[in-house]
């Protein structure tokens, strides 16, 4: 089935405080590119066929004319999986897009039955940026995630995944494809996150630590532990950090823009957005009841008004996979069912000129960086997880805490240790189903 969105609770919380200062260096306003990673693969130049992709991070190119590219999934190895396709949408060095950009990802059975289709779009006039499109499949037909595949697809031994991309003129667009899976929990898998573990939380600011250079992509995201960090936000850029969550923990990220006592006023109107993503790159949306607290902030030109934004997750629990969407409280629809695996959770911060840009207030060639403070908090004590089995039903030992991660990134410890220990097929499914498909570029 397809995926949608989550939120959680933990013993530490993540907060981001943005401090702006007129003494910061000027930065040319143009899209700051996404850092692509992964093993290069060539997809089939057709709606079906192509290589069988296994868990891991892959890199490819998609034509901009909407012609299809495809790969396959072996259901004997991946009974449950999530495929997350990321593209960086741009028109040359222009800050704003000149046309609509769209990525569609579709899962079909060998007989051509549509198992799951998800589409993400960036419209003409919106800032250049990333688009993440997620599709997934879970063997468990009792899960409450939206869009799960029907019985015909569950009976298939292979599944075909077709990707089409349009927009951006002639040529092609780079893409990352993350395939994740997770072993299946059996026996007493515990309860889903409680109501208290689904409420809005904020990360308190603390004495700043040393600055940590952010990543410019998921794979290169900088590791943060609970605390407060100085950050410089570049207009036209998205930055990435990652924070470790174990079973029973939740994450909060909070940002203040501009920072208190900074007296910073941007020469143009800006928007800053903070987002949290699951290990499978599923966007975890929130909807706090406090109207003064959201994940986006609009900053007027030459104004130093302080605003606080943030995001948070529900507690990471296996049973979240079956959580009712009606129990999500301040977490966006269908998000809780995808906060169901421990591992690296990602925090991205996106800073862009407010759109539409007024014709009588043109975007300057340069603008100062926005000084910020990013605070991290993880709330909740780490807890033991459920019993795990592989695709054949054989019980397997859980990897060590340092390895218990899906989507660990590239160039670090083995990003998918479960594949080697035999925990093959159920992983990402939990995260991918319905929540993240909407995960979007605005995060």
User: DSSP for 303-358?
Assistant: ----EEEEEEBB---GGGGG--GGG-TTB-TT-GGG--S-EEEEEEEEEEE-SSPP
Q: Would you state the pLDDT for residue 38? A: 94
Report pTM: 0.84
Mean residue pLDDT of the chain comes to 79
Q: How confident is the model at residue 153 (pLDDT cuts 50, 70, 90)?
A: confident
Average pLDDT over residues 265-276: 88
If you search the block for the tokens 């991660």, which residue do you land on? 405
Beta strands 158-166 and 172-180 are unpaired
What is the side-by-side order of every strand in the sheet holding 56-63?
39-40, 56-63, 172-180, 81-89, 129-137
Q: Where are the beta strands (DSSP E) in 313-419?
A: 343-353, 366-368, 370-379, 387-389, 395-396
Average pLDDT over residues 64-87: 90
Q: Would you state the pLDDT for residue 151? A: 65
Average pLDDT over residues 266-273: 85
Task: Report helix, strand or coil for 367.
Answer: strand
Give pLDDT tens digits for 80-135.
Answer: 788 999 999 988 888 788 999 999 999 999 888 888 899 999 999 888 889 999 98
Average pLDDT over residues 227-241: 90
- Residues 6+ positions from 231 with CB-CB distance below 8 Å: 16, 18, 211, 214, 239, 349, 371, 372, 373, 374
Q: Would you state the pLDDT for residue 15? A: 46
Instruction: Please determine, for residue 441, whether its predicted confidence score (pLDDT) is greater than 70.
Output: no
* Higher pLDDT, residue 438 or 285: 285
**Residue 153 backbone zone (phi > 0: left; psi -120 to 50: alpha; other: beta):** alpha
Q: How confident is the model at residue 65 (pLDDT cuts 50, 70, 90)?
A: very high
Instruction: Please determine, for residue 22, whether its predicted confidence score (pLDDT) is greater than 50.
Output: no
What is the side-by-side order of every strand in the sheet holding 69-74?
69-74, 158-166, 101-108, 114-122
Which range has the worst mean pLDDT, 107-116, 151-160, 219-228, 425-434? 425-434
Q: How confident is the model at residue 438 (pLDDT cuts 50, 70, 90)?
A: very low
Which range has the worst mean pLDDT, 337-341, 362-366, 418-422? 418-422
Q: How confident is the model at residue 256 (pLDDT cuts 50, 70, 90)?
A: confident
Average pLDDT over residues 305-321: 89
Average pLDDT over residues 47-66: 94
181/186 Cα distance (integer angstroms): 16
Instruction: Please determine, for residue 431, whether its predicted confidence score (pLDDT) is greater than 80.
Output: no
Q: Would you state the pLDDT for residue 361? A: 60
- Residues 6+ positions from 260 with CB-CB distance below 8 Å: 17, 19, 306
Q: How confident is the model at residue 18 (pLDDT cuts 50, 70, 90)?
A: very low
């Amino acid at each position: 089935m397809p995926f949608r969105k989550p939120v959680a609770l933990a013993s530490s919380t993540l907060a981001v405080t943005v401090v702006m200062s007129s003494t910061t260096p000027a930065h040319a306003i143009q899209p700051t590119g996404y850092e692509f990673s992964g093993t290069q693969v060539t997809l089939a130049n057709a709606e079906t066929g192509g290589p069988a992709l296994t868990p891991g991070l892959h890199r490819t190119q998609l034509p901009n004319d909407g012609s299809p590219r495809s790969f396959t999934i072996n259901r004997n190895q991946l009974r449950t999986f999530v495929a997350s396709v990321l593209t960086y949408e741009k028109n040359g060095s222009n800050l704003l897009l000149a046309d609509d950009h769209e990525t569609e990802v579709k899962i079909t059975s060998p007989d051509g039955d549509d198992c799951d289709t998800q589409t993400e779009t960036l419209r003409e006039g919106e800032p250049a940026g990333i688009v993440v499109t997620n599709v997934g499949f879970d063997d468990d037909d009792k899960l409450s995630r939206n869009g799960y595949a029907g019985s015909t697809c569950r009976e298939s031994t292979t599944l075909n995944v077709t990707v089409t991309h349009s927009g951006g003129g002639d040529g092609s667009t780079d893409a990352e494809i993350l395939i994740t899976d997770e072993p299946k929990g059996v026996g007493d898998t515990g309860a889903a996150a409680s109501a208290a573990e689904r409420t809005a939380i904020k990360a308190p600011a603390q004495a700043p630590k040393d600055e940590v250079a952010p990543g410019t992509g998921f794979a290169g995201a900088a590791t943060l532990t609970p605390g407060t960090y100085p950050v410089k936000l570049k207009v036209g850029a998205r930055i990435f950090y990652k924070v470790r969550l174990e079973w029973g923990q939740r994450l909060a990220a909070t940002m203040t823009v501009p920072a208190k006592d900074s007296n910073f006023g941007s020469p143009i109107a800006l928007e800053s957005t903070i987002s949290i993503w699951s290990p499978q790159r599923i966007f975890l949306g929130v909807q706090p009841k406090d109207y003064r607290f959201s994940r986006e902030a609009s900053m007027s030109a030459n104004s130093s008004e302080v605003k606080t934004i943030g995001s948070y997750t529900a507690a990471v629990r296996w049973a979240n996979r079956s959580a009712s969407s009606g129990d999500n409280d301040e977490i966006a629809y269908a998000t809780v069912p995808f906060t169901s695996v421990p591992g690296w959770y990602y925090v991205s911060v996106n800073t862009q000129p407010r759109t539409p840009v007024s014709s009588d207030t043109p975007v300057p060639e340069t603008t100062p960086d926005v000084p910020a403070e990013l605070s991290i908090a993880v709330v909740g004590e780490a807890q033991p997880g459920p019993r795990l089995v592989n695709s054949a039903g054989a019980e397997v030992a859980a990897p060590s805490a340092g390895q218990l991660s899906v989507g660990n990134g590239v160039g670090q410890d083995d990003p998918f240790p479960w594949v080697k220990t035999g925990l093959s097929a159920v992983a990402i499914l939990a995260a991918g189903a319905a929540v993240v498909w909407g995960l979007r570029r605005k995060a």
